[in-house]
Structure formats: C-alpha cells, structure tokens
Amino acid sequence: MRDIVISQQHIRRELQIFFVCILVALAVNVYSIVHFKTHWTELFTTFHITLAVAAALFVLLALLRGIAVCGKRILRRKAGTPGAEQAGLSQKA
C-alpha cells in the first residue's frame, strides 16, 4: 500500500486559504456589529461562531475547487489536449 504524501506547498496553500476564510468571517462579524450597533465585546464572545463560519466557508470553497478541477479534467479529456496523456487522464483501450 502506498503512502499519501502531502507536500509542504499544498499544506501552506490550504492554511492560507483557511486564514482568508477566517478574515472574511471576522469582517462579516465586524460589519454586523457596526450595522446593528451592538457592543464590540461580541467580537470576542462570538469567536467560536466565527471559526465555525470560517470552517463552513472553507468546506464550501473546497467543494467548489473540487468541482472546478473535475470540470477542467473532463474538458481536457474531451478536447484531447496533449496535457491529458501526461496527467494520466487519457483513456487506454
């Protein structure tokens, strides 16, 4: 059985994407605090909810990225581009 190796570059990219998701969730939280004129302590007291929203955004983004990659592979296979054989996507008879 082969081991699955995840490169440091891929781990770093996923961490950066998750960090951006956290920043987006915090920005939405700040907007809601300003818009509804509530206390700024809610920024800290609702941090667990902010992390949950960030995780949900990350999962949604991962699904969208997966769909995009699958669509790209299908289009590449149908078009018969030269890169399909190198990527192991060509159909062998």
The parent domain of residue 76 ranges over: 8-85
Question: 1: pLDDT confidence band, cut at 50, 70 and 90?
Answer: confident
pLDDT in tens, 4-52: 999 999 999 999 999 999 999 999 999 999 999 999 999 999 999 999 9
Instruction: Give the residue from 43, 19, 49, 14 showing the smallest Cα distance to 31.
Output: 43
Cα-trace Rg, the chain: 20
pLDDT at 25: 97
Q: Please report whether residue 91 resides in a domain.
A: no
pLDDT tens digits for range 57-79: 999 999 999 999 999 998 888 87
User: What pLDDT is recorded for position 93?
Assistant: 45
Q: Compute the distance between CA of residue 13 and CA of residue 11 in angstroms, rounded to an integer.
A: 5
The total number of structural domains that make up the chain = 1
Question: Considering the domain boundaries, does residue 1 fall inside one?
Answer: no
Handedness of CA 76, 82, 87, 88 (dihedral sign): positive
45 falls within a domain: yes
Cβ-in-10-Å burial (0-12, 13-18, 19+) of 28 comes to middle
Residue 92 lies in a domain: no
pLDDT computed for residue 87 by the predictor: 57
